Amino acid sequence: MTGRFITIEGIEGVGKSTNVDFVAEHFRVLGETVQVTREPGGTPMAERIRDLILSANRDELSDLGELVLMFAARAEHLESLIKPALERGETVICDRFTDATFAYQGGGRGLDPAIIDNLRLAVQGALQPNLTVLLDAPIEVSAERIAGRAWQDRFEQEQAEFFGRVRAVYLEIAAREPERVKLIDASQPLNTVQAAIKAELDRI
């Protein structure tokens, strides 16, 4: 595969959407064909799975069911969108990917990372993002933004301790894989955050 696969990660409210757009624009200006997508979701079927997950009440869906649905959505997304685009040599920018599963289902829900890793291997084999931008901020920043939302999905309804565990796993992944995962302090002003992201994009 000749394309480039870039993922953006972080807890809610750290400015992922704004920075996904920023990364996409960076590569468009370079003349690359860019696919901007997200997980769970990105294809019609995966978006239906996303709706199922995010609209489920806490007691309607088990933690294991949630994990498997995340990978079901990912399998569809990989087969119909991500892999074909990478094979055509395009740049794929994805708002969240498998690091989110380790962080939310592993850290947040407390599921065994070995089970997650088995599913990862079954669904994506050796495919990994070329670069992952991890936007990190204290959970208070995220809690404040979520509190202002009229409707809160299955994850947004979780408490601070949940997001503390999610954030801790993200930071562990960044420490373990510093070549792939670039940790950016998202509590800085937006132009400082974007200058830091740009420096990483320029390197690849």
7 is an interface residue for ligand TMP by CB under 6 A: no
Based on the shown chain and the rule CB under 6 A, indicate whether residue 101 belongs to the binding site for ligand TMP.
yes
Min separation Cβ 168 and ligand TMP, Å: 15
Q: Name the residue among 8, 9, 11 with its Cα closest to residue 166.
A: 11
**Side-chain half-sphere CA neighbours of 72 within 13 A:** 16
CA distance 190 to 76: 34
Count residues binding ligand TMP (CB under 6 A): 11
The beta strands (E) that lie in 147-195 are given as: 181-185
Chosen residue from 77, 96, 120, 165 binding ligand TMP by CB under 6 A: 96
Which region, judged by CB under 6 A, interacts with ligand TMP, from 18-26, 97-105, 168-176, 186-194? 97-105
Binding mask 146-165 for ligand TMP (x = CB under 6 A): ---------x----------
**CA of 78: how far to CAs of 1, 53, 81, 83, 95, in Å?**
13, 18, 6, 5, 14
Judge contact between 129 and 9, C-beta under 8 A: no
Q: Which is nearer to ligand TMP, 35 or 105 (CB)?
A: 105
Stretch that binds ligand TMP, among 77-85, 95-103, 172-180, 190-198 (CB under 6 A): 95-103
- Residue 19, both tokens: 């920075």
Residues in contact with ligand TMP by CB under 6 A are 12, 38-40, 70, 96, 100-101, 104-105, 155
